[in-house]
Amino acid sequence: MKTKLIIAMVILFSGWQLKAQITAPQPVAGLEVTEDYITRTLVYPEADLEQGKSGKVVVGMHIDPQGVASNYTIKSSFSEAASPVALHLVKTILWSPATNIGIPIDYDYEYEVNFSARSYKRHWKRHERPVVPLTLEADTSYIVYEYKQLEEVARPYFADGGNMGKYIANHMKFPAEAKEREIQGTVRLSFVVEVDGSVSNIVVINSVGGGCDNEAVRLIEETVWLPAEKNGKYVRSSNMQDITFSIGAHNFQDGNSY
């Protein structure tokens, strides 16, 4: 009896230990930046907003060892009208796969999209939703095209006059920590320009620290683009941007010296 109890405890402990070594999938941009993206781009169903109806939509999916998501399903929803909104947003998220002892594995995952009528109204009372003059139909495949896969004239184009340097010059807030610690350098970001001109899946490729990474992400989050075109439709496309933080000399990116 004692031996059976010990064996049972060993099996139970082994199962717990194995489970503890499994890491769930994560958005490539991280949970916080992904939630910011959803806040910026979510379009609340009009009837639900008027009624002050709030809740969440749970989207299930399968994520393979390459981080490719498929088999999307609505697991639960507070509103029929909110389901397609949440499903669309979740389909735009790129994923890092689940791992077991560091090895990528298949994983069934659920992601919650929260809808708060009060927070939504408060957010858009303080912000102005950007409008991009779109004239083409949007591709619905959710394929992300690499920059080199697009013809030069059909690549994504920064909508604010096309001058990214001027935009950064007018909007950069040099982080206080970076000034104090004399941190400088170039933050490189990768991101996806969506078919509506919004930006998603922002990832820091080259980190500087001292608050510079967060400021670079904020700057790109707030940009609006004319999306890339392929086969007569707007398509999703990958992009990169360098943002330089320089101390002690004229900073060409934001026009100031520190």
Span 35-52, mean pLDDT? 96
Are the CB atoms for 253 and 244 separated by under 8 Å? yes
- Tokens 């991009």 map to which residue? 132
Span 93-118, mean pLDDT? 97
Span 11-35, mean pLDDT? 78
pLDDT number for residue 74: 98
pLDDT number for residue 238: 96
DSSP, res 252: T
pLDDT range class, residue 24, cuts 50, 70, 90:
very high
pLDDT number for residue 258: 34
Rounded Cα–Cα distance for residues 235 and 224 (Å): 15
pLDDT number for residue 19: 58
Which helix (H) or strand (E) element contains residue 20? helix 2-20
Span 167-179, mean pLDDT? 90
pLDDT digits (tens, 9 = 90+) for 245-254: 987 644 444 4
Which domains, and CATH codes, for the chain? 24-126 (3.30.1150), 137-245 (3.30.2420.10)
Which helix (H) or strand (E) element contains residue 124? helix 117-126
Give the count of alpha carbons within 13 A of 164, CB side only. 16
pLDDT digits (tens, 9 = 90+) for 46-79: 999 999 999 999 999 999 999 999 999 999 999 9
Are the CB atoms for 79 and 48 separated by under 8 Å? yes
pLDDT range class, residue 154, cuts 50, 70, 90:
confident
Closest CA to 239 of 185, 202, 195, 186: 202
Rounded Cα–Cα distance for residues 80 and 257 (Å): 53
pLDDT number for residue 60: 98
Rounded Cα–Cα distance for residues 197 and 168 (Å): 18
Q: Per mean pLDDT, which range of 91-105, 116-130, 151-165, 198-212 is the poorest?
A: 151-165
pLDDT range class, residue 160, cuts 50, 70, 90:
confident
pLDDT number for residue 220: 96
Are the CB atoms for 93 and 111 separated by under 8 Å? yes
Helix 164-171 vs helix 212-221: crossing angle, to nearest 10: 120
Which helix (H) or strand (E) element contains residue 219? helix 212-221
Rounded Cα–Cα distance for residues 191 and 211 (Å): 19
Q: Does 15 have pLDDT greater than 60?
A: no
Span 123-152, mean pLDDT? 91
Can you say how many angstroms the Cα of residue 83 is from the centroid of all Cα atoms in its chain? 19
Span 3-32, mean pLDDT? 68
Can you say how many angstroms the Cα of residue 106 is from the centroid of all Cα atoms in its chain? 22
Rounded Cα–Cα distance for residues 35 and 115 (Å): 12
pLDDT range class, residue 127, cuts 50, 70, 90:
confident
